[in-house]
Structure 1
């Protein structure tokens, strides 16, 4: 059983699937990761970070969840490390607690989903259907292998989604917010304020800053996590080239059989230009045939039956085409006649047919001798593809039976090429000129997705380039780059920090003077460096959400201050510090803008629905009882992300 499971989870024959369905479930329920459900398949846990009712969230759950979050982050930034997602640790843990609480609450109150319902959800996934549109065990196995999940994982995910849909969602829909509640907030959005804003730029204080080696060493030691080098790996890759797998040469009999089976493609088919009249009685058909055989034009012969020239013109037809149009019996009679002949009447399901053979065009295809080379090449390619599939299957079987990459490659006579130490983006820090082969990109992705002690995998290469056997040789954990290698970067960061500190001190002094009643012009004039003048700002609160990042921070501060008050605020873009003062406040009146009241009401209704869902979930957690082990949570956070915050 273990061998079969390993073969399934390591299969290289995967389909290109879309996981938007799963992602939509995660987004709707705020379950940031589903990989935690896999932990139940591996036995006991080392420790519990939290319990919800009788269910535990273990360190293994968090390891699995955070690893999946990291893999998702690497879709945007291939060099992402756990340090980059450290801020998501708390949200991921909270999502696991929410999931456990929902399932535990449903179970305690007798809300149990049937296996048949979950089976139906699995069968409805597009990724589980075969070519006939029906559920396929093979397609489902490929889906599980592609997602590195088990059947139990998928069932738990769907249990969560269905329970959320049937238990949580009904209590959070159709929230109503009265216009009377929305109107004051709409008026607030129309509130207008006038103030002054001055920027103390950090750039103005860079002159003269020159750190010593001791300064750099101390700064580097204090901020070493800012200089982390992404995890690097040495991968061992063996390409399985289709051309390297011998394929059987097709026999003459196979070539001839293929030619015969595809006669229409290679030999061509006789084409006849046909005119046809179809009527409902044999008497009328006899009249048309008699007139046509008497020398009348076919269109004229059919005219007394109410048929026009367009009605009787069929045009060029092969036997197969005319058979699908008029029936095999009619087609056989038409293709047995000579050019210019009148056929019929012939009876079919459509009525009585009278046909004239206007022209006969002989087949214009290629003979077997002319087609032999093309057919031989096609059959050779097909046989080689079959041989390659069998070859890869044998390799996967060896891996499933416990063979190492070296043993598998030796048995298959594959050449294994080790990479230098590379990042997930394929860059080698030891050799900036190194470029990971673009055609082996799936091997790079797989090499960084697997754990260091995982079995090697066979991955499919794009553009029918074959396969690649990939394994992890060694892992170099993420660590700060040596100071000697990044001294210029550290020096620049030190200067930025010092100039920012100086700008902050000057800005604080100016803010204090303005707070004591000095004008901006007087306060700025007292600075030791020349600063840009203050700007007069006039805006409505509604404009905060429309402002770009460069002006949003001072605008928010201006609307947070009472009239006549001032305060310093850091620029989120790191350019320096703003001093903001509010001089005038003009209340808004939403009655002058009824559409804004409606928009605010609609926005509040969505927020109210979210709030109702959150409150219902909070009540479920209170009902089940949530216990957090903060010491172990802190330790797990430090171990996984390297950060205690």
Structure 2
């Protein structure tokens, strides 16, 4: 084929044809780029939602982030679903864009993250440490399985955290706000207002409300999202634990072989009580040895050389311990001598050694008979772990080869447990007494992260509890509960809504009269309903932040109105309505509360720091360039919310 093109290029006609072919190829590329531009993808590959510089935010990145957000949400609400997170979609996507912009900016400006630095951060995580307090690969893998993360995910999260610490934090730290800026806001917090407040509670309008079946059906139909039941799943579980595998008992030969291989541990070590003098002069060493051999204490023999009793007392030493004091040759000489013998002078790098063997203590080890049961238990545990590993490896191999859950666990002869329909928190809506086993929580998390057609997953259990194979048997999509099951709840909600409607009508009439200048007391009296009396209100603006949820709404309204004005505001917990009127405004004086000025400064400094960080991040995105695939983003948003956007 290549020779054909070479021959073709040697003729005028052939050269023209080759130029034409080249132009057609270039035109094809150009048309593809034009189609990409007009489709809004700007040349982005399939699966890319946003591109920041050279950093793509993929559908997989979004999926991982949504899974983490859902797991966090389920800590507070076990029935949370992706539909619950629908309102947070834009926020989660923007957080991913910010992360990728930060990484792209760092890489462009030389902030290279070394593997060693990331490894150090991983090793510092408490979840990655073993019983000895050091990094443990098995503990790390268990952590990844429990959190439904990959090693790449963890490294990415750590890379983002370190980059934030190195780039964003220095720019946002120690922001200063002048006193002149804080003082007017402090004065505003001290502003005092006087007014009136009336309450129209909904409870007094409940009388006579008795909905028909048609009323309930209509109300239920209009408010179906209110009665949504979170997604439920039926899971199939098969546990492989150390107790369920067949661990053969070790033979006597294996016990004896283990004892022999570890005899140094079981036999113990001989200990000698030693005295030692080390001098630099051979003649001095000869004198010490001669005096020691002549009788008397070793300390007295070493005294003429300027050594005290504390200098020569070495105490009990094993051969290995004494080797660290003078070397292997010195230790061998000392441990070859008899009790009471004087060894030396012997030369080492430290000088001339003279040693006395004060006492010999025999090794206190264990015989094979004494260590038999201990070794048997140790080997049995080891064999059980090997059997466990072998069993789970065979199951994983079968799954990798395409076996179904039933085929994989059937071949391993594992007992299977099928759960009732449960939510992500492990509760069964149809059986209030059911409790998902606490030790199998990692399997619950994995089961709700899987798709129906995913392969069975082998999940590692905590505390060496073994493994559990989990598969999704059936998914019951999130849907409104049947009216028949929640009729009492719907009836209560209908009555509450109608009572609120009545209360709103009365409150609106009162508010309209007060707004026209009629005294609030008179407007309440003309309502034709027994309402609580009008209450006077005196408050400072600073009390809004300190008020509880019940008082915050009317207080906010009091401080949002101009003098002489009034307005109706709903109770945030749907218990009725407030009519609030502002009668008098007294400006605050910040000079009377210098401490409040300082406090306002500090609060503003925190806000300013956040703002500086956000501004720097915005500048990074502008520099890197942000390109969005609007069609892909809209499709992803619809997929997670389950509704047309």
Consecutive unaligned residues of structure 2, counting only runs of 5 or more, are 1-40
From 95, 102, 122, give the equivalent of 1:126.
Answer: 122
Deviation at residue 640 of structure 1 after TM alignment: 2.7
Greater shift, 439-448 or 498-507, is seen at 498-507
User: Relative to structure 1, is the Cα distance of residues 484 and 275 closer, same or farther in structure 2, using a 3 angstrom cutoff?
Assistant: farther
> Which residue of structure 1 lines up, in the alignment, with residue 477 of structure 2?
477
Distance 1:446 1:90 in 2: 26
Structure 2 residue aligned with 1:83:
83
* 1:241-320 equivalence runs, <5 A: 241-247=241-247, 249-263=249-263, 265-303=265-303, 307-320=307-320
| 2:438 match | 438
* SS of residue matched to 2:88: helix
Q: SS of the residue aligned with 2:462?
A: coil
Taking a change above 3 Å as real, the CA distance of residues 552 and 318 of structure 1, as seen in their structure-2 partners, is farther
Whether the 8 Å contact between 1:127 and 1:143 is mirrored in structure 2 is no
Query: What does residue 551 of structure 1 align with?
Result: 551
Query: Kindly tell me: are residues 200 and 294 of structure 1, through their superposed partners in 2, closer, same or farther at Cα, counting changes over 3 Å?
Result: farther
**C-alpha spacing 1:644/1:305, structure 2 compared with 1 (3 Å):** farther
Distance 1:264 1:59, change over 3 A: closer
In the alignment, is the contact (CA less than 8 A) between 1:127 and 1:139 conserved in 2?
A: no
The answer for unaligned runs of 5 or more in structure 1 is 1-38
TM-aligned CA deviation for residue 378 of structure 1 = 0.9
Partner of 2:46: 44
Q: Judge which range, 398-407 or 537-546, deviates more.
A: 537-546
Distance 1:539 1:450 in 2: 54
Hey, what does 1:604 align to over in structure 2? 604
C-alpha distance 383-506 of structure 1, shift in aligned 2 (>3 A): same
The whole-number CA distance in structure 1 between the counterparts of 2:572 and 2:416 is: 49
- Please state whether the residue corresponding to 1:242 is helix, strand or coil: coil
- Shift of the 348–61 alpha-carbon distance from structure 1 to 2, 3 Å rule, reads closer
Instruction: After superposition, give the CA deviation of every residue in 1:470-494 in whole Å (9 maximum; x if it has no partner).
Output: 1111111011111222222223323
CA distance in 2, matches of 1:535, 1:628: 56
The 5 Å alignment of 1:77-476 reads 77-95=77-95, 112=108, 117=113, 123=119, 125-126=121-122, 177-247=177-247, 249-263=249-263, 265-303=265-303, 307-476=307-476
- After TM superposition, give the deviation of residue 179 of structure 1 in Å: 3.7
SS at match of 2:72: helix
> Residues 309, 228 of structure 1: CA spacing in aligned structure 2 closer, same or farther, 3 A cutoff?
farther
Please report how far the alpha carbon of residue 641 of structure 1 lies from its aligned counterpart in structure 2 after TM superposition.
1.9
Residue deviations 1:103-147 (CA, integer Å, cap 9, x gap) = 89x69xxx7478975756655552699999999999999988776
TM-score, structure 2 normalization: 0.76
Aligned mates of 1:537, 1:285 — CA distance in 2: 99
In structure 2, relative to structure 1, the CA distance for the partners of 1:363 and 1:58 (3 Å cut) is: closer
Is 2:49–2:58's contact at 8 Å kept on the other side of the alignment?
A: yes
Closer/same/farther in 2, CA of residues 411 and 294 from structure 1, 3 Å limit: same
Q: Deviations over 1:311-344 (max 9, x none)?
A: 5444443333333345433433443444455544
Shift of 1:157: 7.0
Counterpart-to-counterpart distance in 1, 2:385 and 2:138: 20
Partner of 2:578: 578
Whole-angstrom distance in 1 between the partners of 2:247 and 2:340: 52
User: 1:467 Cα deviation (Å)?
Assistant: 1.0
8 Å CA contact 1:342, 1:355 repeated in 2: yes
Q: CA shift at 1:568, angstroms?
A: 2.8
Cα pair 2:326 2:350 within 8 Å, conserved: yes
Counterparts in 2 of 1:285 and 1:587: CA distance versus 1, 3 Å: farther
2:568 corresponding residue in structure 1: 568
The alpha-carbon distance between structure 1 residues 381 and 563, as it changes in their structure 2 partners (threshold 3 A), is same
Equivalenced residues, count: 598
Deviates more, 1:146-155 or 1:494-503: 146-155
Structure 1 range deviating more: 223-232 or 591-600? 591-600
Instruction: Describe the SS at the equivalent of 1:258.
Output: helix
- CA shift, 1:205, in A, is 4.1
When residues 346 and 252 of structure 1 are mapped into structure 2, their CA distance, relative to the original with a 3 A threshold, is: farther
User: 1:69: which partner in 2?
Assistant: 69
SS at match of 1:567: strand
Deviation string, structure 1 residues 152-192 (Cα, Å, up to 9, x no partner): 87788788778878887787677664443333223323333
Q: What are the Cα deviations for residues 274-293 of structure 1, in whole angstroms up to 9, with x where unaligned?
A: 44444554555555555555
Residues in 2 aligned to 1:312 and 1:580: alpha-carbon distance in whole angstroms: 93
Change in CA separation of 1:100 and 1:130 when aligned onto 2, cut-off 3 Å: closer
Task: Give how far 1:224 is off.
Answer: 1.8
State whether residues 202 and 575 of structure 1, in contact with CA within 8 Å, keep that contact through their aligned partners in structure 2.
yes
Please name the residue that 1:589 is paired with: 589
TM-score of the pair, normalised by structure 1: 0.76
Q: Deviations over 1:374-402 (max 9, x none)?
A: 11221232133223223322322332232
Match of 2:16? none
Q: Does 1:640 align with 2:636?
A: no
Larger Rg belongs to: 2
Shift of 1:549: 2.8
Name which of structure 1's ranges 590-599 and 391-400 shifts more when overlaid on structure 2: 590-599
